[in-house]
Amino acid sequence: MLSTRGKKLTGMLDEPWRFPLSRVAMFNATSNPSGLISFGTAENSLVYDELTAYVNRNVQFDKSVWSYGYSSVGGKEFPAAMAGHINKYFDPIVPVKGSDILATNSVPTLSELLAFTLADAGDAILLSRPVYGRFEIDWGNRPGLKTIYADTEAVESFTPAVARKYEEALVAAEARGVKIRVLIIVNPHNPLGRCYPRETLIEIFKFCQKHQIHLVSDEIYALSVFNSGESGTVPFTSTLSIDPTGLIDEKLLHVIYGMSKDFSAPGLRIGCLISKNPQVQKAVRSTSALESDWQPATASQRGSFARTTFPICQERE
């Protein structure tokens, strides 16, 4: 009944370590005491009551939300509000504008669109190990990219020396005829829960520039950090906060963000691309469902939307 690729897709869900456990397998103190507890999903359900109450109190919808243009690649309001959030918390070297941001229905969707945009089937992404397991699927399944892992010990990924490990992996891949197009990092890191020091990010910038490969920095946990009080801990440094001059062409740098972790709202399925590369933006727009030049009727209406969605964020342009 299904195509070869359709069958392959159904098989992916059966890989137990990648996806949340089925209800049958899940631990329950009374009904399934020998079940398994999944640490595979980063979801904070403890705040759902507060979140529901807050949204129900504060959000009203205007009739324009039912139009195609309101939310295609995020529409206008959402990227502007998100730019305010990024400018407030990521300390970007140049303030981010709404027009630098595209929104898609989740980070995996965005990863796939980027995969189609930045590489051809048979090319590869480069990652350190261990890492969030979906990259292999999102960049590999339909776009057909290979995944190359640098031979890193866990904490080594955060040291400037990681650039040498990336170099070795790249040289070995190229010797096998595999072209690496994209290096992906997760900062703050999943699963290691650490942030990248600035000097390591700088070495990674230089590595990507040297080989002209794209750097995709998944910063979805940007605000999910806390001060443990231990000495020697590293605070979050966004790649957007480092002056790229002389280190990396800013057109090679793309940041991924979303609502699932810092806003505890994975059910909203929102992923954001922050990129100053107009060609990349154009290609991602063209492959996301629809594009639109829609604008809300009046400036005051625009302002009230941004305030309603994110009361704490005002765009700084």
- 101 beta partners: 274
Q: Which two tokens stand for residue 255?
A: 């940041």
DSSP structure string for 100-168: GEEEESSHHHHHHHHHHHH--TT-EEEE-SS--THHHHHHHTTT--EEEE----GGGGGSTTHHHHHHH
Q: Which is nearer to ligand PLP, 169 or 186 (CB)?
A: 186
Task: Using the minimum distance from each CB to ligand PLP, give the nearer residue, 139 or 166.
Answer: 139
Using the minimum distance from each CB to ligand PLP, give the nearer residue, 110 or 296. Answer: 110
Amino acid occupying residue 198: R
- Residue 187 or 296: the one with the smaller Cβ distance to ligand PLP is 187
In the bound complex, what is the minimum distance in angstroms from residue 134's beta carbon to ligand PLP? 7
Q: Shortest approach of ligand PLP to residue 161 CB, angstroms?
A: 23
Residue 136 exposure: Cα atoms within 13 Å on the Cβ side: 12
- Choice between 84 and 271, CB closer to ligand PLP: 271
Query: Smallest distance, Å, CB 225 to ligand PLP?
Result: 14
Instruction: Determine how many CB atoms are found less than 10 A away from the CB of residue 175.
Output: 8
Nearest to residue 64, comparing CAs of 247, 295, 231?
A: 295
Rounded to the nearest whole angstrom, what is the least distance from the CB of residue 3 to ligand PLP in the complex? Answer: 25
Angle between helices 107-118 and 278-287 (to 10 degrees): 120
Residues 6 or more apart in contact with residue 305 via CB below 8 angstroms: 62, 77, 296
- In this structure, what DSSP letter does residue 297 have? S
What's the closest the beta carbon of residue 98 comes to ligand PLP, in angstroms? 20
User: CB of 248: closest distance to ligand PLP in angstroms?
Assistant: 21
Residue 229 C-beta: closest distance to ligand PLP, Å: 25
Q: Which is nearer to ligand PLP, 157 or 211 (CB)?
A: 157
Strands of the sheet containing 271-275, edge to edge, are 101-104, 271-275, 253-258, 214-218, 180-186, 124-127, 146-149
Q: Which is nearer to ligand PLP, 116 or 296 (CB)?
A: 116
Residue nearest to ligand PLP (CB): 260
Which CB atom, from 87 or from 106, has the smaller least distance to ligand PLP?
106
CB of 311 to ligand PLP, least distance (A): 23
Please tell me what DSSP assigns to residue 72: G
Name 4's Cβ contacts closer than 8 Å, sequence gap at least 6: none
The residue ranges that bind ligand PLP (CB under 6 A) are: 42, 106-108, 132, 186, 190, 218, 220, 258, 260, 266, 271
Instruction: Please check whether residue 292 is in contact with residue 251, taking contact to mean a CB–CB distance below 8 angstroms.
Output: no
